[in-house]
Structure 1
Amino acid sequence: MHIKTIILEGFKSYCQRTEISGFDPQFNAITGLNGSGKSNILDSICFLLGITNLSHVRAASLQDLVYKSGQAGIKKATVSITFDNKDKKSSPLGYESYPELTITRQIVIGGKNKYLINGITAKNETVHKLFHSIKLNVNNPHFLIMQGRITKVLNMKPPEILSLLEEAAGTKLYENRKQETMKTIQKKDLKLREIDSVIKQELTPTIDRLREERASYRRYETVTRELEYLTKFLVAYDYIRIKETISQKSDSVQSMVQELNGYKTKLEDLESKKKDVGVEIEELETEKNLKEDQELQELETRNSENQKNEAVAKNRCKRADDNLKTIIKEVKEQTRQLENSKKALAEKVQELNSISGAEYQDMLSKAEKAQNDFEEAEKNLQAVNAGMLRAADGHAASLNEQLRLAEGDRSTADTHYRQLGMKIEHLTKEVKTKRQDCEKSGAFNKGQSDDEVRHDKLKLEVNKLNELIDKIRTKQQQFGENMTCRRKIEMLHQEINSSNRDLMNLQFEYRDPRPGFDRRKVYGPVAKLVQVKDMQFAQALQTAAGAKLYNIVVDSDDTSTLLLNHGALERRVTMLPLNRIRGNPVPQNVLAKAQQLVGRDKVFSALDLIEFDRVLTPAMEFAFGGCLVCTDLDTAKRVAFAPGIEKRTVTLEGDVFDPAGTLSGGSRAQNAVPLLVKVAKLHQLETELQGLRKEHATYENRMTETMKLEKELRIENGKLQEAKHNLNELEFRLRETDKHRLRIDLEAMEAELQQLKGQLTQAKEKCKEAEEKVEQVRHRVNNAAEEQDKERKLAQRQLEQARKAMQETQLQLQNKDFARDRLNIDIQAIENEVTTISNALKQMTDAEDAAEKSIADERKELEKVLALLKESSKELEQHHAFLKELTKKIQLKRNEMESLKSKISATGTAIEKLSHEIDVAARAREDNEALLRKQLKSNPWIIEEEQEFGQPDGPYCFEKNNPSEIRTRHLVLSEEKQKLNKLVNVRAINSLTIAEDQYNDLLNKRKIVMKNKNDLQAYIDELDSKRLEILEKAYSRVNEEFDLMFNTLLPNSSARLRPPEGKSMHDGLEFKVALGGVPKDSLNELSGGQRSLVALSLILALLQFQPAPLYILDEVDAALDLSHTQNIGMLIKNHFKKSQFIVVSLKDGMFNNANVLFKTKFVDGVSTVNRHAAIKC
């Protein structure tokens, strides 16, 4: 590969695009005046090859390579070189197929540096590899010989000259690799020492300790192995069962498919028969239609009209019936509503009567009596003040008047007594006569009639039902307490919500900081965790704790951290962790001293005034511990500043004395309720609510019983009404018989006789009382003055009692009147409703009568239509007589068709059913196959051991090993393994395994390191051997070429490289020169030109040893005369025919031997290049 063309644009002195073409494949020379740009061409080649040491191209930075460093408006430099690549032997790797390679490098000031290969952008590394593959490494440039290289070679010492030979031979690379390998060996030695240290100091003691713990693990391993075997056995058993199920399902599907095919064949035969029968039916119907005439059509038309009329008439009848039913239904509904309203009215009336009944009348009587008593007491007092006295009947009168009245009452009582005696005597005679009549009629016979027996039973039944209903209603009244309880719960809820609003600052809401968080760890704010023993200390305790009442008590600092970081708190709070918080309670001796100073009933410890859970003691001591509560201001001041006490004190009103000298308080609202009082009220409400909820739950549980009682009450009421109805009918029937009337009359007369006798006894008592009253009045007449004063005091006392009684009864009566007014309003509304429903019911009754009349008319019309239809039907039947046989045949065929359809339907159903069963079986098989695949995926060992499943005497013999027993054994071993897990140090065993693995691994690594070390040492020995071999070959070859080159440049001379005296070649080399057969001891004996020829000859000899495709020489002949320069040109031309030389020289002797000469000029600040043909001598 050699250069064909170089294109420069913006590079150094070549500002314009300059194309240098026509390069010779062997020898090219460049000449020109100094500063004309000839060396810039060589710099462009080095630039393209990717040189990194810019000093070789006389630049400090890449910007210096741009024309005038970019100051002239040109901002980029481009170098493009075209290489001839036809010689495939010297082609770069990977580019053998390209006849030419055009490589371009471009730099932009402040921009990118890019390469192009054949117009395609390429990476720097790609281009460098391309040139390295053809021995053009510009950063280690054996092919580049610059000015000063000869002088440098001449000044080299023997080891440096040897280094040149090594570089030419390539053994320098061996030496570099040897050094790297030695470093690697040192690292391996260090690694071996580390491994030995770890084994000796760490692993060996650990393994010895862990091996001692292995004995307790033996049972665990045994159980584990057996458990693994049992697990595999059960998996194998399940696997075999699944496979058997799949096989059974497959056989079942195959059998059902065969059966399905048989059904499908049968269905095809039935369809064929159906088609044939259909054809026969069509033929018969065609024949029938041909025989039907116009008269038949007329008859059918008339009959059809009659049928339509019948349908219309029936429809009208049906509508009339439906209308009647609707009306009847509405009547029933209205009747039901009317009954309900009447029932409600009766209940309200009954309630009104109960209020307005005997109790109300009694209350009214009491109120009237109280009013009368009050009026009588006033009159009595007035009469007594007027000199009159109160008689026994309560009226005021003079004593003489009272005596006259008392004597009159006695006379009246005597008269009434005598009259009663006469009535009893007369009634006794009548009873005797009536009894005789009853005996004559047989009314007293022992045998009772059926009606009488039934009457007694019904009467007894009515009494029992009344008693039962009273009991049920009593229970219902007890259950009615549930509503009262519910209302109390609602009221308590409202009060609790109101209290919670007042205590909003005590609400602590948070989110669980992690799943499963135990909320019992959070106790809540301090204020809600204390109970004040006596509420008179509430304000003092609130002042003592202050803001600490709002602090949140938790069990530990971990809980508080969780809540603060992850609890999503809505406001800033202070946490009191019980495991961290500490209080400063008042010592008992200080408290005793304070109580001794002011008295035990005037100073208290704040902690003694509250109750709390003992678990919360640290938090309570923190909040209340350092404070004393005093009953008044003076006491608090004395205690706070007393020597030996000096504690913070708080009064009941909340005033604070601090030993530090501060006093606070006095700015509190007078009506403000202390926070702890509100909290106590909330606790009380919640406790009461909890009790009511329990009570309500009890009532709710008994609601079912209440519903049963209501149902039972309805049933018993129905029975009672029926029994009363039957009893009334029976009594009415019995009253119609003579015997019964006689007995009833006798019983009534006997009852009246007994009543008169009772009245006679009362009359006798009244006569006695009247006589005593006369005596009392006579006594009072005799003691008039004393009685007057006594009566006056009694009248005043009775007036006050009457006034108080009148006020109480009037208040009770007003309440009753209010209830009666409310019931009257309800009754009036229900009566209006009853009236409305009654009117509507009357209208509906009229509508019902009209509907019944409409039905009768429609039915008459229907009868007429039916008569016409009957007549037309009869004529039509006569006409159809002759078609009967034909119709019969058609019907037979149709029956056959229906039979075929039925069979086809049954066959189709069987096919669908069988298809569904096949699908179900197939899905079941697929499910089992999926389960089988899952088993195989979860247990890959099944594939290897499947052939042993179920084999006799094998590990998976299911006959000898009962799977159910295996499962039981598996469960037992699993439990045993869980127990052993808790006892055995499994981690230590695992650690032993890990330690042994680490130990073995380190041993293996040590062996590997030792092997690598030995391999590296062997590799070094091999490299040394190859290096010596190659170096000796290079030494021999370079010496030959060196002597030849020097003899060519300086005829009749010789030059060799020899080791220094007393040393070997590996210690260094030095020049040995002979001129005209005379050896020279050193180069100092030679002239400057001759020394330059020696150095140049060595350089060219080294180049000849491993030739590159391109060599660049920059004025290497500067120190030589013309004859020697010409010899160099001839040498290059004759000895380097396979490489391309580009030589910069100012001497004709050099470039006259070149095949192509390029001359540079510097015109108007820009370099130009001209090509010239070879100069022939």
Structure 2
Amino acid sequence: MRLKSLEIKGFKSFADDTVIHFNEEITGIVGPNGSGKSNIVDAIRWVLGEQKGRELRLAQMADVIFNGTKKRKAAPMAQVTLNFENTKNILPSDYQDISISRLLYRSGESEYRLNGVNCRLKDITSLFLDTGVGPDSYAIIALGMVEDILSNKENARRKMFEQAAGISKYKARKKESIQKLKATNEDLARIEDLLFEINNNLTDLEKQAKRAKKYFEMRDKYRSTAMLLYHISVNNLREKINSLSDQINQKLDLHREQEIIVRNTEADLGQFKKSNLDKEKNLGDFQKKVNLILDEIRNAEGDVQVKDQKRNLLESQILQIAQQIETAGVRLQSLELEIVQRLQEADDSAVEYQKASHQSLTQEQIYIEKQTEFDDLKAGVDIFNQEKSLNEKAIFDLEKTIAIAENQIENIQVENQRLENELDSKVQEFSHFEIQKIEKDQSLIVVRQKITECLREEEIRQEKVKNLQKEIESQNSKIGQLNRSKDAKKNEFELLKSMVEKMEGFPESIRFLHQNWRKDIPVLSDLIYTAEKYRNAIEMFLEPYLNYYVVHTEDEALKAIKLLMSSGKGKAHFFILDKFRQIHKTQADIKNCKKASDLVEVDELYQPLFNSLLNNVYIPDDDKQLDDVIRFPDEISVVSVSGSILKKSEAISGGSVGLFEGKKLGRKKNLEKLEKEIKDLELEILALDRNLVDVKNDLKKLELDHRNSDLLDLRKSETELVAAQAQLQTKLQHFIEFKESVSSRLLKNKSQAADLKNQIQNQNSDLGLARNKYDLLLQSIADKDDVFGKVSAELSHVLNEFNQSKIEVLKWQNRHETNKRELGFRQQQKEEITGKNNEDEQKIAKYRDEVVELKSSLTAARELLRERFEAKKILETDLSSLEREYYEARNEITLYENKIKAAQKASNDLQSDINALKDNRSEASYKIQSTEEKAEIEFSMKLSQFVPDQETIDMDEDQLRDRSLYYKVRLDNYGEINPLALEAYEEMKERHDKIQEQRTDILQAQEKLLETIKEIENTATAGFMLAFNQVRTHFQDVFRSLFTADDDCDLILLDQNDPLECDIDIIAKPKGKRPKSIHQLSGGEKTLTAIALLFSLYLLKPAPFCIFDEVDAPLDDINIEKFNHIIRKFSKSSQFIIITHNKLTMAEVDVLYGVYMEEQGISGVTSVDFRKYDHEIVLEEMER
């Protein structure tokens, strides 16, 4: 198998399509550092399936995609393809040419391809298994991996030996088998635990299943008898319901007649309300109109306020601008005078400048003539003349500098005077503005205090308005609630009164005596009253006596009995008050219980009777205490608060509490209390209505007593003062800035003048010295030659006059320029002030136009406001009239409603009878439903689905009840059973059998796996030891060929008993050295040792191709020759790809690929076939 070519595109720095051909035995790859040489090796590792980014020098795998440069876009994907020629059929494939590809997209999607067809990484790994080719095989070695081999990092030596020995697949199979064995052992342990648990539970379930089966047989017999009893009970209740339904229908007919009367009256009321609807609508429309007018008035007032404020602001700005124009006019007049003065001074200085210039020219001509004369005489005194010239120039320069400085001082003094004059005038103006600002500030503080006070008063008023509105709302809500409560109590009163008058709920005998006997004799239930909480309890205890009449003597009772006997109206019971004396019986206090006699209210006349009836009767505070009723002594009676249970000395009774229990007790007393409560509610409603009227009057006063107009005036004054204050502040700020600027300028000018005076003083001193020197020089020249001295003296005089004339010219020139500059400055000020005045006059005209428009708009707005106030007044008058008509109609509606209530009362009486009958029918229906539900809950069967069996169908009700009770008692005493035991037992037995089968299968699988692991270990051990011994022999031969024949080396297994897992030690001792470990060797020796080991592996199992990435870097020239020699020797059986920087290695390759970066960040490749050249010539060319 040969490696034909490598195709790269978009991988790391290889942005473009790059193809590298490997047609020769030895291929070299060279290039400068950073050019991308190692990226070629990374590409080969990557396409072979490398998954670790660290091995490819990456932070993350996506970094393999070309990331772009300043000039090139990033690549969308990375693609690498390796092409092989399967010449020796090393690869298990039918194809002669094989290509593998790997693609990675920026989206993270990845593809592997085998001959252009998508495949899995596993397919590629399987293809190259045991061929010596892979991302981590010994066929690809980098310099860093040499150290890994020598230091055995991450067990690198053993991996290489296993690859060479071809046992990798055995180790993989062994690892897979061990994992399966581990999973099998875990399954077996789990199965054993399950079997242990199931065996323990199976015995218990079998016992429970037998007991449950017997229980179900008894339950079926009990269900048959009980269901038949339920069926008989339901039939009896249905007959009762039919009878009650007939009575209800008769009452309903009468009730419908009363409802027709109510509906007719309600129809008349509806017609009247409909006719009154227009009045309500008109009233609502008028209220909306009034509210709309009020909104318009508020909007108009706000509009007037805003426009008035804007007008005042504009008028204030007009006054301010007029003041500015007036001030500017005064400044313009001052500037006009200054401009005229400066023009005159400029003209005068120009005349003087011309005179000085003419005089200077004349003096210059005289000087030139005298200089010419002097030059004719200077032949003998050249040295003195040169020195004289220098002195003359120095004197002139000094005099010129002094004149300029004096002129500058004069100009500074003039400017300082001007600035001080301007500052004095501004100070006077500033003092006036400052006084005005203080006055405005004080006025603004006063106005704002008034505004704050006004706002505080307004907030207090609004808070009072809100509180009154809330109070009105609360009063209305409370009145409505009280009205509803009053209506409810009235209805309750009417209903209760009707029941008392008709004696509903009482026997026929009592009703007869009530109609035909004395009305002043009360029934016991009417004499007593108690709190709602205790009614059920008291009623339950007194229930046998509630229908008893309470008479004073036995004669009264006998008369009533005779009347009943003669009329045939049944029997009645009587309590004789004379028989009850006021005897105070002491009742013991019982913890958490109340005495019944303390909980009732009765008249004093009847107190002995109730003290006797309720003697030693107690009511516990909590129903739960009744669970322990036996703890109470037999001489007392106990009744629960809810009335659900009653214990007397001889008996206990109780059960569920009905809906109407507690309603018989104290009807007359209750009527009296209801009547009192209704009167109290009416009085409370009347008081609330009166209070509501007072609150509404207070609210109306507060709503009218607002301070909006005062607040508007104060806001207007505040706006005007703030505007004036801002204007004054701006002027003061401008003055401060002007003052700071002038002060800074004056200080600068004074400093400059002082510097100039010091300069003049120093230069005058220098000028005196220069003139003295010059005079001495002239005297020396005079001593030489009288004539020459005379000429020199004249020349000195002429020169002095000429220099003075020049100084005078400069003086007047500077003065003239200063006048021109000051004149330009004044003219510029004049133009600026004139332009500002024009702009201000335009603003005044604009503001005046706006003021006129605002005044016109204000007039219209005030007129609109007046009209809205008049409209409001008219609408409020009409609204009062409509409200009066509306309330008159409401009184008519009240009359109709009272008529309806009277008709409804008669209907309600009938409805009460109907409700009582319906309650009885509902109770019967409830009992039927309860019976059916009880049967369904108890036996999980609907009563309609029950079919009696032959054994019970002929029994009567008593026999059924006895038999049902018999089975019920047996079931209750049978004890607890597991109802699911039968089903659970069958399921667990089936599960036990299945798990037992699984255990057998797992044991067989465990045995097979152990045999497989043992077989793999034997085969792999034999293969490894054979390969190891061969490599050991090859290593000794190759090592001595790289070093010397006398060198000592060896490979040692550190644990002979476990050759597949133990470490492999390398012994390397070059001649003359005795290192304790391989790490003590030099870098070159360690590299040669690693190379010897690699080639020993190649001798055992040659790799189709080998890649060395700068492995030769640590070697010197002698060892490089050895390295090159062994490469050439092994190239007959394997291809070699060598990345190197060494020239000797380059000389040995067949083809050399150069990697370069013509464009920054993008690698390119070019090739050279070295076999066409002499090596020495090529090396010499490379050295050049």
Shared fold per TM-score greater than 0.5: no
TM-score relative to the length of structure 2: 0.37
Higher Cα radius of gyration:
1
